[in-house]
Every structure is written in C-alpha cells, then in structure tokens.
Amino acid sequence: MPTLNWIGKDKVVSHHQDVPYRVLEHKYGFTAENGDQTEPTNSGNKIIHGDNLEALKSLLPEYEGKIKCIYIDPPYNTGNEGWTYNDNVNHPKIKKWLDETLKAKEQDKVAAIGVDDLTRHDKWLCMMYPRLKLLHKLLADDGAIFISIDDNEQANLKLMCDEIFGSNNSIGPIIQNKMNAKNDTVNIQKNHEFVIVYRKRFKLKNGSKVQPTILFEEHKDRSILEENGRYYYINDAITTRGEGGVLNARPNLGYSVYYKMTPRYYKFSYI
C-alpha cells in the first residue's frame, strides 16, 4: 500500500504513546431548563476544555474501543493567519509542541530537525497523526469516523487515514457543496468540501462483517410544488438554478419517486 512521508513523520508515529494521561476534573454541569451553570451532574455527557491531544488520551481508560461515531472538524490549513484562528499551523503553542516533540527524539537521528525545516503541510501532518491514532483507539469495532476537510489537505489526509485505519476501511468521501464559493477567474472554482469517512473494521472480532444500518427516526415532509399537473420539490444541493430550474422547462431532469402511505401510493416528481 502506498504510504505518505513528510519531514518529521518518524518523530510523531509513536508520539501518542508518549502523551501523558491526565485526570479529567469534573467541575460543573448545566441544567436543561435554562443552561445555567450548576453543580456537577452525572448525565454521562462531557464538554472538555483543554489541549485536544491530552483530552483524547485522558478518554482512553473509560472509552477505548467504545465510541460508535466520531466527527471532527480539524483546521483546513489554508495558510490564512488573519482568520478567526491561525490556520497556518503557526500558532506559538503548536510551534512549541512541534519543537519539543522533534527534539525529544533527536538522538534517533544524526541530523536534528527543527520547526523551521518543516513546511506548513509537514507541520499539519505532524499535528494530525498522533490525534488520529488516539481517535482510532477510541473508535468501536463497528464505529465510524467523519472528518471535514477541503482541498488544502484532502489528499494528504486520505493517505494518512489509509495508513492508520486501513485503505479497505475507507467508506468513501462525502462531497459537500458550498453555497458561498468565491468566483475564481484564473483557476477552477472550488465550490465543494469533503467529509472523509472511515470505519474501524470491515470485519468484527467474531468474524462477521459490519452490517450497514439505516435508521428512520422521523419522517420530515418537504414542500411539494405543483406545475401544470406535475408535482416536484427542489433539492437545494443539486438543483438546476435560475429560470431553467423547473420541471416544465427541463423535463429530462425529473424522475418520479413513489412513497407508500397505506393504503395509497403517492407519486411526485423530483429534480
């Protein structure tokens, strides 16, 4: 299987083992009625404030192999330092962590590596690898992880997840269309982001395969529009926009969907 290499990788592949365990201090809870801060509660829910690497490690004793669903939204590493937060992996705290991590294993190499030797992509990968290793440990055998990302690191993240989770455990990317994509008159306009999805195992320990499940917890009706005796609704993510975005103008884009509500079948067209 192809693997991804970057400057500093050899320093971080086992770094998750070196992260110290921290004891989570239960400080307070919130009431459901008004959200006011109260005395500690035992709801089972947790909001953890602190370094996420140490927070993940602190969850292992209680939750290792038990988390069914994980969603993370890591920095996209756009290189923008003037945004809501520094998105260039260049914050003093992350630089300090990288410097300490790289120097901690200097004796393993003849030539020492410094933070300044790393590009922002090297630094981002060094930051992400030990966190993904801990998330992999937390994930249940029949669990899945969802990771939001965009074009800046999507390719690197995919190869890194292939290595940690296994390429055969890649469920596939979810494409998320951006409704506010900026015009680009020079390059191809980037109007979508990705959600990378991986399972923990394709086969469980007992040899059985992970079975897909679809849960219908509630049915939400959408507004059905009528036009010349034909019924349809607009799907915001993939619809044809403008004057041509109706079935009467573009009948070849529509198809019928049948929905059974005993004892009758309802039919409407979809575009």
Residue range 146-203, pLDDT digits in tens:
999 999 999 999 999 999 999 999 998 999 887 666 777 788 878 889 999 999 988 7
DSSP at 224: P
pLDDT score recorded for residue 26: 84
C-alpha dihedral sign at 91, 14, 54, 107: negative
- Is there a contact between 77 and 124 (Cβ–Cβ < 8 Å)? yes
Looking at residue 237, what is its pLDDT? 43
Joined tokens for residue 71: 């969603």
Contacts 24+ apart (CB under 8 A), 266-270: 267/231, 268/224, 268/231, 268/232, 268/233, 269/230, 269/231, 269/232, 270/232, 270/233, 270/235
H/E element holding 195? Answer: strand 192-199
- Please check the confidence at residue 265 and state whether its pLDDT lies above 90: no
Pick the more confident residue, 58 or 210. 58
pLDDT of residue 271: 42
- Cα–Cα distances in Å, from 265 out to 132, 221, 256, 260, 270? 47, 15, 12, 5, 16
The reply to whether omega before 263 is within 30° of 0 (cis) is yes
- Backbone Cα Rg of the chain: 24
Residue 56 pLDDT? 96
**What per-residue confidence (pLDDT) applies to 45?**
83
More confident position, 6 or 226: 6
Contact call for residues 147 and 155 (beta carbons, < 8 A): no
Structure tokens at 104: 């901690």
pLDDT score of 106: 52
Helices (H), the chain: 9-12, 15-18, 52-63, 92-104, 120-138, 154-165
Q: Which residue has the higher pLDDT, 253 or 265?
A: 253
For residue 64 the two structure tokens come to 């290792």
Q: What is the CATH number of domain 9-199?
A: 3.40.50
- Residue 93 three-state SS: helix
pLDDT on residue 206: 75
Q: For all residues of the chain together, what is the average pLDDT?
A: 78
Q: What pLDDT does 131 receive? A: 96
pLDDT in tens, 202-244: 877 777 776 665 444 454 555 666 666 665 555 544 444 555 5
Where in the chain are the domains? Answer: 9-199, 225-270
Average of per-residue pLDDT across 122-132: 95
Instruction: For the full predicted model, state whether its pTM sits above 0.85.
Output: no
pLDDT (average), residues 25-49: 74
